Structure 1
Amino acid sequence: MDVTASLAAQNYVATRPATKAQPSETAGAALSDFAQSFAATMQKGEATSQAAMTGGADAHALVEALAQTKLAIETAVTVRDKVVEAYQEILRMPV
Structure 2
Amino acid sequence: MISPTFAATAYDRARHAVAPAQGLPQGVTNAAADFARVMEQVDLDAAGAMTGQTDTHDLVHSIARAEIALETVVAIRDKVVEAYQEILRMPV
* TM-score calculated relative to the size of structure 1: 0.70
Could you list the runs of 5+ residues in structure 2 that have no partner in the other structure? 1-23
Q: Which runs of 4+ in 1 moved over 3 A?
A: none
- Aligned to 2:26, which of 15, 29, 36? 29
Q: Which runs of 5+ in 1 are unaligned?
A: 1-26
What is the aligned counterpart of 1:69 among 54, 66, 78? Answer: 66
Instruction: Give the number of aligned pairs.
Output: 69
2:41 aligns to what?
44
Question: Which entry has the higher C-alpha Rg, 1 or 2?
Answer: 1
User: 1:82 corresponds to which residue?
Assistant: 79
Deviation for aligned residue 1:91: 0.6
What does the per-residue CA deviation read over 1:43-76, in whole Å, with 9 as the maximum and x for residues that have no partner?
Answer: 0010011001100011100100000111111111
Instruction: Tell me how far 1:28 sits from its aligned partner.
Output: 1.5
Q: What residue is the counterpart of 1:94 in the other structure? A: 91
- Hey, what does 1:13 align to over in structure 2? none
Cα RMSD (Å): 1.1
